Amino acid sequence: MKFLEYTPLDRLNDFLSCVNFGERTIKGCLEAYSCKHTGTDKKLSLSLEHEILDYLGKSSDTDSSSPAEYLLSRSSRKTLIYLVLTLYHMYPDYDFSLVKAHQFFTEESWDSFKQIFETYMLEASREWIEANGGNSLLEALYKALDEVVRLSECEIYSYNPDSDVDPFLEKGSIWSFNFFFYNRKLKRVVSFRFCCISNLMADGFLDDLCYEDDGEIFDGMDM
């Protein structure tokens, strides 16, 4: 996998790096990658392939909507491996060995993504229009993604891991979403993660307040 630089994504990243609303901050980041393997990717790819095949060999689930049914397809396994490799490149210091990829990736439609985006990014969208005028934040995002990965040809996936294997979670996180836009023909993927963080928690204000409260309780007790 190779990181790709695109000006349309840079403009959005500049805006989404920190949209502060006082008590909370919304952040977002878009990254594009080529799916062509580098040296380390080949080893990781083989390891992931063995893990998936081992899972399939042990699985007795024949439900058509189950991960096992989906992974019987070689092309589906390949897609899954590309998505996990993208995670490795996004967070090179994070250990994804605990990630069971088939459990965490869900295929989405543009409409389902749009509904989540418009619901959770409403305030950020208003800020975008005030700062830039013209098109909405969603329209700007659509145009940028379409330029990089041709949305009409894309498969969209969301990544929903347990909290103990989620490198996206920051201290004070209120909510977070992680999407991948994958173009099989172009062999290119764009990751898009966006989250909302409590500024009080992130700054340690509530932790300090709780500590002070505990101190006041113990001050009046004989130890």
Structure tokens at 138: 């969603």
pLDDT at 68: 54
DSSP letters for the chain: -EEE--HHHHHHHHHHT-EE-SSEEEEEEEEEEE----HHHHHHHHHHHHHHHHHHHH-----TTSHHHHHTSHHHHHHHHHHHHHHHHH-TTS--TT--HHHHEEEE-HHHHHHHHHHHSHHHHHHHHHHH-SS-HHHHHHHHHHHHH-GGGEEEEEE---GGG-TT--TTEEEEEEEEEEETTTTEEEEEEEEEEEHHHHTTHHHHHHHHHHHHHHHTS--
pLDDT at 79: 83
pLDDT at 135: 85
pLDDT at 99: 60
pLDDT at 49: 72
pLDDT at 217: 40
pLDDT at 206: 42
Whole-model pTM?
0.80
Task: Profile the chain (223 residues) by mean pLDDT over runs of 10 residues.
Answer: 91 94 94 86 75 69 52 72 85 70 78 96 94 90 96 92 66 88 95 92 52 48 46
pLDDT at 210: 42
Q: How many CB atoms lie within 10 A of CB 187?
A: 13
Interval 47-75: pLDDT, tens: 777 777 776 676 665 544 555 555 666 67
pLDDT at 166: 65
pLDDT at 202: 59
Burial class (CB in 10 A: 0-12, 13-18, 19+), 157: buried
Q: Which domains does the chain have, with CATH numbers?
A: 2-59+76-191 (3.40.1000.50)
Cβ partners under 8 Å of residue 109, min gap 6? 156
pLDDT at 89: 84
